[in-house]
Amino acid sequence: MLRSLAIASALVLAGCQQHAADQQQRATLALTSDTLAQRQYTTRRFETKDEVSIMAASAGVLQDLGFNIDETSRATGLLVASKNRDAVEAGQVTGQIFLAALVAAMGGRADPVWERDQKIRISVVTKPAREAMVVRVTIQRLIWNTKNQISRVESIDDPVIYQQFFDKLAQSVFLEAHEI
C-alpha cells in the first residue's frame, strides 16, 4: 500500500518537474556525424563577390517558389521566408477513412483525422568566402491536422529538395546577371 502510494506520488510529481529532458536538449545543440553531410547538401558556392546580387537572386527564387519574405538582414546576409500550403496526402486520407469504416463496421465510433495544412519556413544565408559567395539554406515545416492541432514539426532533410532549390538559384543568378 505504502509502496504503491510512493510510486504513484513519484509519478505524479515527476510530471510537474522542470522536465528532465536534459539528454534531448543536449542532443539538440550538439554537432553530429551527419552535420558535415548536411552542410554539404544545404550549401552551394557561387563564383562572385557581389553579396547583394546573390541575395537579390535568392529573393527572386523564393518568390518564384511562392514564398513570402518575412525578414531580411543585408549586413548578415539573411533572408527568411515562409508559405502556407496544402498538406493533404491521398494515402493518409484513404487509410484514415478505411480505418474509420472498419471501426464503424464493428460498431465503434470513428473519428478520422488527417494532416490538412502546413507552413513551410526557409532561411537563406549568404556568406562571403574567398573570391566567392557561399549560400546555405535550411528548411522546416509545421503541419496541422483536420482538428487544427499541430500534428508534426520537422526539418526537411531530403538532399534532392535542396539540390532543386539550388538549381533554381543558379538559374536565378544567371537571370539576374543578365537582367531578364
Partner 1 sequence: MPAQRSAVKFVVLLLPLAVAACQTDSRQQVLLTDRSQVELRAVQTRAFDTTDKNLTVRNVIATFQDLGFVVDKADEVLGTVSGTKLQGYTMRMTVTVRPRGTTQTAVRANAQYNLVAVSDAAPYQQFFAALEKAMFLTANEVD
Q: How far is the CB of 97 from partner 1 (least distance, A)?
A: 26
Q: How far is the CB of 109 from partner 1 (least distance, A)?
A: 26
Q: Which of residues 21-50 bind partner 1 (CB under 8 A)?
A: 21-22, 24-26, 28-31, 35, 38-39, 42
Question: In angstroms, rounded to a whole number, what is the distance separating the alpha carbons of residues 124 and 128?
Answer: 14
Choosing from 101, 104, 153, 177, the residue that interacts with partner 1 (CB under 8 A) is: 153
**Residue 83 touching partner 1 (CB under 8 A):** no
Mapping DSSP onto H, E and C, the string for the chain reads CHHHHHHHHHHHHHCCCCCCCHHHHHHHCCCCCCHHHHHHHCEEEECCCCHHHHHHHHHHHHHHCCCEEEEEEHHHCEEEEEEEEECCCHHHHHHHHHHHHHHHHCCCCCCCCCEEEEEEEEEEEEEEECCEEEEEEEEEEEEEECCCCEEEEEECCCHHHHHHHHHHHHHHHHHHHHCC
**Residue 91 touching partner 1 (CB under 8 A):** no
Question: In angstroms, rounded to a whole number, what is the distance separating the alpha carbons of residues 163 and 153?
Answer: 22
Choosing from 58, 61, 115, 141, the residue that interacts with partner 1 (CB under 8 A) is: 141
Choosing from 40, 63, 68, 73, the residue that interacts with partner 1 (CB under 8 A) is: 73
Choosing from 4, 33, 148, 149, the residue that interacts with partner 1 (CB under 8 A) is: 4
Displacement of CA 86 from its chain's centroid (Å): 15
Cβ proximity to partner 1: between 39 and 97 the closer is 39
**Residue 87 touching partner 1 (CB under 8 A):** no
**Residue 15 touching partner 1 (CB under 8 A):** yes
Site residues (vs partner 1, CB under 8 A)? 1, 4-5, 8-9, 12-13, 15-16, 18-19, 21-22, 24-26, 28-31, 35, 38-39, 42, 70-71, 73, 75-78, 80, 121-123, 125, 127, 136, 138-142, 153-155, 157
